Chain A
Amino acid sequence: MPDDISDGVRIELDGLTKRYPGQEVPAVDNVTMAIPAGELVVFVGPSGCGKTTTMKMINRLIEPTSGSIRIGGEDVLGMPPDQLRRRIGYVIQQIGLFPHLTVAQNVALVPKLLGWPKAKVTARVDELLNLVGLDPAQFAGRHPRRLSGGQQQRVGVARALAADPPVMLMDEPFGATDPITRERLQNEFLRLQRELRKTIIFVTHDFEEALRLGDRIAVFRERSRIAQYDTPARILADPADDYVASFIGGDSTLKRLALISVGDLAADPAAEVDGLPRVSATATLREALDVMVSHSTQQVACDGGVLTYAAICAAAEPAREREEVPGAR
């Protein structure tokens, strides 16, 4: 991940600890990790494991007891918290739109805090609403209560992006939406992130969501101990211990196939495609396998030719995923 061309900046946590008065064990115990610039890192773990506390220490909604946080090399614990937070996008599950303000006023909030000129703010609001797929002419003047849950969370994302922060913190942002809306929001968000390359910390307890969205996943156990911090493919192929394996469940190979798209594999261009079921290049290997099973065949047609069952099995070989990824540990 080339740091110099990306919009995001690197985040480094060092010995980060949160101890609440009157509690024997720290809520977050000595977390050290680096989040590479422009990557989306998912914190995943059960409720109460400290993943949200760890995230909220980064924008200092929770003050750390000890340890250090650097964003783009700058020590954030020495900064005024309000100014720090204006440079960090923040999206929460309950969205928290201001009900007495319009959609446009909600989105304009941080740019106004930063003292942007009015014309620039207006232009930015339109740009962002378009970016998250809401027509400004239709939505800018509306109040939040007149939006659906999915639309509200789009406004939430637009508001967090408003001042173009290099870093975004997202606390189960799609957790309160229905499964169909959630999948659509996830896909839109992935597309957005491919363009924006922000450094994003994304908290969820949904491992499937972590696999879909994360460039990297940090699996948390209690007290924010990190059980494994790696790419989705490597966590699936080589879970660090039984705890991580329990998150993956019994279908790690299928989950791994879901991370690879048909277009990533070289199809056999010479083979006969007539009469074979077709899959698109953007379909995942898991979907291709599904088509094979449902059609009782070992071959499917795709853009480049024919994809075989044997090729899918070869792609699922854990060894293929073991090449070193820079920055992973």
Chain B
Amino acid sequence: MTLSEYVSSRWDELTQAAGQHALVVALSILMATLIGVGVGVLTYRRPRLAGLATAATAGFLTIPSFALLGLLIPFLGLGWGPTLVALVMYSLLPIVRNTIVGLRAVDPAVVEAGRGMGMSAARVMARVQLPLAWPVILAGIRVSTQMIIGIAAIAAYVAGPGLGNQIFDGLARLGSVNALNAALAGTLGVVVLALAFDLFYLVVRLLTTPRGLRA
């Protein structure tokens, strides 16, 4: 059976795996964005804390993904739990880092003007600082997404969702019927997903960058 025959005969199974793969990545990025932007907002003005946040999230990235997923099993069992937690941990660094950098790059005069006009600190953050830092933060989110789309495949190791199952299955029985096709189909699916996400971010960036900030 050729690869294309394999793909068309397993179409339902493959699209379901791809859908789950996309879902687990999207959920992880959503949670990482909430946490990462929050951490960035709380630390960007305190150099020591900001350094600590960056170092800690960078530390997460150095843990091998097999080890991290495996170590989470005693606490979270198998499946979605450890997968989500691991992916969130891996995606934090670019988001935290870019939030801090983006907020620091906002012109202090703009913040002073906002405060001087009687906007509360929270309102200046929500209406002025975050919108101005948004293109930089979004770039961080995009990098995180690209990173964890690949890592998510490894989640099959803890019975997580996604295209990783195809790849692991194939690799486990390499040499038997359709083993190579399964591994290739899973890998290709990951690549296609990555491209689709990137296209999505391109559109998001165009739609969410304020007109006054576009070159």
A329 at the B interface (CB under 8 A)? no
B46 at the A interface (CB under 8 A)? no
**A148-163 vs B: 1/0 string, CB under 8 Å?**
0000000010011000
Could you say which residues of chain B place their CB within 8 Å of the CB of A265? none
Give Cα distance in the complex from A94 to B111, angstroms.
11
Pair A102/B212 contact, Cβ less than 8 Å: yes
* CB within 8 Å of A: which B168-215 residues: 210-213
Pair B117/A85 contact, Cβ less than 8 Å: yes
**Given contact pairs A100-B212, A101-B212, A94 touches B116 in the complex (Cβ within 8 A):** no
Give Cα distance in the complex from A131 to B65, angstroms.
63
Give Cα distance in the complex from A102 to B210, angstroms.
10
CB distance from A302 to the nearest CB of B (A): 45
Total A residues in contact with B, Cβ cutoff 8 Å: 30
**Given contact pairs A92-B112, A94-B109, A95-B109, A100 touches B213 in the complex (Cβ within 8 A):** yes
Give Cα distance in the complex from A92 to B115, angstroms.
12
Give Cα distance in the complex from A160 to B142, angstroms.
39
Total B residues in contact with A, Cβ cutoff 8 Å: 20
Secondary structure call for the B interface: helix
A61 at the B interface (CB under 8 A)? yes
CB distance from A147 to the nearest CB of B (A): 11
Pair B213/A59 contact, Cβ less than 8 Å: no
Pair A82/B112 contact, Cβ less than 8 Å: no
B70 at the A interface (CB under 8 A)? no
Could you say which residues of chain B place their CB within 8 Å of the CB of A205? none
Give Cα distance in the complex from A94 to B204, angstroms.
31
Could you say which residues of chain A place their CB within 8 Å of the CB of B118? 81-87, 110, 113
CB distance from B5 to the nearest CB of A (A): 52
Pick the contact of A98: B114, B116, B120, B211 (CB < 8 A): B114
Could you say which residues of chain A place their CB within 8 Å of the CB of B117? 85-86, 90, 109-110, 113, 159-160
B132 at the A interface (CB under 8 A)? yes
Give Cα distance in the complex from A110 to B114, angstroms.
9
A269 at the B interface (CB under 8 A)? no
B128 at the A interface (CB under 8 A)? yes
* CB within 8 Å of A: which B105-136 residues: 107, 109-120, 128, 131-132
Could you say which residues of chain A place their CB within 8 Å of the CB of B119? 82, 109, 113
CB distance from B115 to the nearest CB of A (A): 6
Pick the contact of A92: B109, B132, B212, B213 (CB < 8 A): B109
Pick the contact of B109: A96, A100, A143 (CB < 8 A): A96
Pair A98/B115 contact, Cβ less than 8 Å: no
Give Cα distance in the complex from A109 to B114, angstroms.
9
A8 at the B interface (CB under 8 A)? no
Number of inter-chain CB pairs below 8 Å: 73
Could you say which residues of chain A place their CB within 8 Å of the CB of B131? 100
Pair B109/A61 contact, Cβ less than 8 Å: no
CB distance from B154 to the nearest CB of A (A): 40
CB distance from A136 to the nearest CB of B (A): 18
Could you say which residues of chain B place their CB within 8 Å of the CB of A84? 118
Give Cα distance in the complex from A222 to B193, angstroms.
64
**Taking each of B110, B117, B119, B213, which has the highest tally of chain A beta carbons within 10 Å of its own beta carbon?**
B117
Pick the contact of B115: A83, A85, A100, A144 (CB < 8 A): A85
Pair A97/B211 contact, Cβ less than 8 Å: no
Question: Residue of A at shortest CB range from B209?
Answer: A100
A145 at the B interface (CB under 8 A)? yes
Could you say which residues of chain B place their CB within 8 Å of the CB of A59? 116
Give Cα distance in the complex from A90 to B109, angstroms.
12
A133 at the B interface (CB under 8 A)? no
Question: Residue of A at shortest CB range from B115?
Answer: A61
Pair B113/A95 contact, Cβ less than 8 Å: yes
A48 at the B interface (CB under 8 A)? no
Give Cα distance in the complex from A59 to B112, angstroms.
12
A99 at the B interface (CB under 8 A)? yes
Pair A143/B211 contact, Cβ less than 8 Å: yes
CB distance from B160 to the nearest CB of A (A): 39
Known: A92-B116, A96-B116, A159-B117. 10 other contacts (CB 8 A): A61-B115, A82-B120, A84-B118, A85-B118, A94-B107, A99-B210, A99-B213, A100-B210, A110-B117, A113-B119
List the interface of chain A (C-beta within 8 A of B): 59, 61, 81-87, 90, 92, 94-102, 109-110, 113, 143-145, 156, 159-160, 169
Q: List 13 A-B contacts (CB under 8 A).
A: A59-B116, A90-B117, A94-B107, A95-B109, A96-B112, A98-B113, A98-B114, A99-B212, A100-B128, A102-B212, A113-B118, A144-B212, A159-B117
